[in-house]
Amino acid sequence: MKHWITLCCCMLTLFALSAQTPDSSTTIKGCPRSDGERIIVELRLPDTSFRDLSLPMEQRVEILLRQLTLKEKLAMMEHQNPAIERLGIPAYSWWNEALHGVARNGYATVYPQPIGLAATFDVPAVKKMFSWIAVEGRWKFEEAQRDKEYGDYKGISFFTPNINIFRDPRWGRGMETYGEDPYLTAQMGKACVQGLQGDDPTYFLTLACAKHFAVHSGPESIRHSFDVSVTPRDLWTTYLPAFETLVKEANVQQVMCGYNRLDGEPCCTNQHLLVKILKEQWGYEGLFVTDCWALNDAWERDTVIPRHETYPTAADAATAAFGSVIDLECGSGLPALKEAVERGYLDKGIIDEHVRKILMTRMRLGLFSEGEMYRWKGGKDVEVEPLDYDYLSYRMACESMVLLQNKNNILPLDPAKYKRIAVVGPNAANDTMMWGNYNGTPYHTVTILKGIRDYAKKHHGPSVYYDMACHHVDGLYKLPANFDRQIAKCDLIIFVGGLSPMLEGEQLDVEVDGFHGGDRTSIELPRIQNGMLRKLKKTGKPVILVLNTGSAVALDWEDENLDGILCAWYPGQEGGTAVADVLFGKYNPSGRLPVTFYSAHNELPPFDSYDMHGRTYRFMTEKPLYPFGHGLSYTTFSYSDCDFKVDDRTVSCIVTNTGQRLGSEVVQVYLRNPQDPEGPVKTLVGFKRVTLQPSQSIQLSFPIEERFFQSFNDKDQTFEFRPGTFYIMVGDQMLEVHI
């Protein structure tokens, strides 16, 4: 017994020494026994040289890796990495969101929803916005570290951006994307990644994640069992280009596989997608991440939610995923992973490969050494610039506004012309609508009603009458008895309506007229709102519709009968000010549609068909209500001296502001390739946003990537150049070029 007591005392002494010398790698031997002999005890203290910044990162990773137990390694492959206290490593969660601002993590700046950001066609502004989001994310991360908060949404590895193609306006999550065009999506996604990750060659400011790989865009209600069948042509010309751009040109550090199956195999175990294309063809070396609990769909039997059920057990599914390239599971599959290793399905060497990548990524985020964190604390390496988050949110909201209709130039409104206006509709005073989804909580929100009231008050303009007038979809709202009388006193009516993130979004529990499970069953404006607009139109007053939406809405009656239509999307915390400034002319609208606004629901192919025939501006032959790229201005622009140089394949033109107001034009370049008869009718190959004073001109040039002149060989599933005549469209100009 005395020997055991002595041994315990020795161990306690050694642990105390270990705690006192955390940076020591000394081996301590020997403790005296009561009879004079010695009990040999060896305790090797942790090797903390993985924190030594003078060592190469690869060496530091290996020092850390060899000290981890198998249990600790496996735990690091789940998104909630537990703390390893003996090494002084805190817990960390990989699940964090920053779709249009730091999300689900308390107060943070809320910018317009990504579909609105896409409408800006302003790549430099989007990059700047995401760099500011990254800095704000770093600040919040350090606060959480000080408060010892390590849970989900407290970290700096963001599951952003969503670069799936918005192929059908019925998809509820389309608002999270950058629209229906592969090139616009790629450029916006690239700007997002570069802004979030920063430009340091060694360390990342934060991490970005390209999701959801691949061919994932609804339906939401069956996403856990849906098997997508797509032609190689559509796969390579529509669904994959944005991902390829982010991998090859933006150095994105995370790629997330989707919930759906592709050609029978779940995306998170799909060898063709993850290994053949992403890793081998594109050379991707970053982290492979599953969508949250997506691996469960591969094996779980569920009587409520249909699943893929392609593997007999959780261990088999884990083997299929981690046995190839998946590094990190967002979910709770650790027991299955342990079982796969214990049964010999997964080799420990493969586990080391995955953990090595995870450790390297955490190290490049500066998470293992305090010395690596200084640059993000407002130190000398941070760009010295006042970060006016409210202004940037306002600016992005202004640029996102798309003026769809403006009869008789009723807009911009003259405040002196109207004594009293009515601002009505379910979105007028709705602050949470403004935030979209995957959002943070702003410190303040300017609703559209408040924005209009503030503008009118500041400029001694009209008084404002407000009433909700109706709900979004149901007829339960009761108009006040004096509603008609109040409307009769007004000179102008602004109806603020459309959709809501409570109706369209990710797998929502919504079953109402026109909406199902987060998706839409009808693309028309909800009937109750259309009925209210018809009622307001009968008053004889001018009626303007401010449309809040995350997707295209069929507005045939509205376009024909209303005086003006402004698409404001879900515009973020400063959206009300932006709407008011556009309506009254302080800001000249310059947004352009990143999606086609179809005339009617019956124009669309079946929702669950991923065939691109008849979809989006690239493949539809009918005339839409508002085409992709559409957007009106309070000034006019002309195009001249358009030319194409064959040697460097560059198109140039002169753009002139021919109106009376300062304004921004989004110059769009399209190409049609007759050598590929199955290809797009036309496709966007370049764009640039320019701001011009009245009578000011600017000469622009657009180098067109060689791939846009290539045709897809359906037999070989490759791209090839076929000489011939190509058509290039810039503004109202068309060039016929022979290559």
User: How far is it, in rounded angstroms, from Cα 238 to Cα 683?
Assistant: 11
* C-alpha–C-alpha distance, residues 443 and 450, integer Å: 16
Nearest alpha carbon to residue 306 among 229, 224, 228: 224
What is the spatial distance between Cα 703 and Cα 67, in angstroms, rounded to a whole number? 52
Residue 118: other Cβ atoms inside 10 A = 29
Name residue 455's amino acid.
Answer: Y
The number of beta carbons lying within 10 Å of the beta carbon of residue 656 is 17
Q: What CA dihedral angle connects 332, 333, 337 and 342, to 10 degrees? A: 90
Pair of tokens at residue 175 = 């608002």
| Residue 585 structure tokens | 């002319």
**Residue 563 tokens, joined:** 């005086």
- Reading the block at residue 43, the tokens are 């305790």
- 3-state SS track over 154-216: CCCEECCCECCCCCCCCCHHHHHCCCCCHHHHHHHHHHHHHHHHCCCCCCCCCECCEEEECCC
Q: Which two tokens mark 163?
A: 């670069």
- Which residues, at least 6 apart from 370, have a Cβ–Cβ distance to it below 8 Å? none
Whether 594 and 639 have beta carbons less than 8 Å apart is answered as no
29 phi/psi in degrees, rounded to 5 = -125, 145
Strand stretches in 334-473, DSSP E: 402-406, 420-424, 463-467
Residues 6+ apart with CB under 8 A from 70: 341, 348, 351
- Is residue 390 part of the annotated active site? The answer reads no
Residue 377: CA count within 13 A, CB half-sphere: 8
**CA distances in angstroms from 168 to 180, 345, 527, listed in the order given:** 8, 41, 21
Residues 242 and 255: their CA atoms lie apart, in Å, by 12
Considering 504, 519, 558, 574, which one is annotated as catalytic?
Answer: 504
Considering the candidates 265, 291, 297, 327, report the single residue annotated as catalytic. Answer: 291
Is 291 one of the catalytic residues? yes
> Residue 64: which residues within 8 A CB-CB, separation 6 or more?
50, 87, 359, 368
What secondary structure letter does DSSP report for 58? H
Radius of gyration of the chain (CA): 29
Taking a C-beta distance cutoff of 8 angstroms, is the pair 434, 575 a contact?
Answer: yes
Q: Cα–Cα distances in Å, from 335 out to 74, 194, 296? A: 9, 36, 12
Nearest to 664 by CA among 686, 689, 640: 689
Amino acid letter for position 72: E
Q: What angle do CA 220, 263, 337 make, to 5 degrees?
A: 75
Active site residues: 291, 504
